[in-house]
């Protein structure tokens, strides 16, 4: 069974940093591209970043480019999101997802809440 378990969320002040992790199990992690999708409170879903199966390619939405870094450790089956210079508008539940262009985001973690506030 595919499992994605996020951790690392919490309350952080504007301008500070936070690193999210996603532990994957139940599949061969190194074979799949992974992504982060976020959802602001009572709002819709927003794609944040994608990383290829081997980490060689990364993609970001414009509003996080230069501030967020997606990475992975295939030996540990873990996905990361390093978030710097956080803003109030980054407040959201962040979901770790596995998917492809053809299948959509087929698997989701339970999410971790990031609150950016002073």
Is 19 or 43 the residue whose CB approaches another protein more closely?
Answer: 43
Cβ closer to another protein: 16 or 89?
A: 89
Which of 28-31's residues contact partners 24+ apart within 8 Å by CB, and which partners? 29/72, 29/74, 29/77, 29/78, 30/54, 30/74, 30/77
Q: Which of 61, 69, 82, 113 binds another protein (CB under 8 A)?
A: 61
- Could you say whether residue 53 binds another protein (CB under 8 A)? no
Measured CA to CA, the distance from residue 36 to residue 98 in angstroms comes to: 9
Cα-based angle 6, 86, 94 (whole degrees, multiple of 5) = 25
Binding flag, residue 109, another protein (CB under 8 A): yes
105 is an interface residue for another protein by CB under 8 A: yes
Using CB under 8 A, pick the residue from 47, 55, 67, 115 that binds another protein: 47
Binding to another protein, residues 82-101 (CB under 8 A)? 95, 100-101
Is residue 102 within the footprint of another protein (CB under 8 A)?
Answer: yes
Residue 98: Cβ within 10 Å count? 21
For the beta sheet containing 18-25, the strands, ordered from the edge strand earlier in sequence to the opposite edge, are: 3-7, 18-25, 78-83, 68-73
- Which residues lie near another protein (CB under 8 A)? 44-47, 50, 59, 61-62, 95, 100-111
């Amino acid at each position: 069974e595919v499992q994605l378990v996020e951790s690392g969320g919490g309350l952080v002040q504007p301008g500070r940093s936070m690193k999210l992790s996603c532990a994957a199990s139940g599949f061969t992690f190194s074979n799949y591209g992974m992504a982060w999708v976020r959802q602001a409170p009572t709002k819709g879903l927003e794609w944040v970043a994608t990383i290829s199966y081997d980490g060689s390619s990364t993609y970001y939405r414009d509003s996080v480019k230069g501030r967020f870094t997606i990475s992975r450790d295939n030996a540990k089956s873990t996905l990361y999101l390093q978030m710097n210079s956080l803003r109030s508008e980054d407040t959201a539940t962040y979901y770790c997802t596995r998917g492809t262009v053809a299948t959509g985001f087929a698997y989701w973690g339970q999410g971790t809440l990031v609150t950016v506030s002073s």
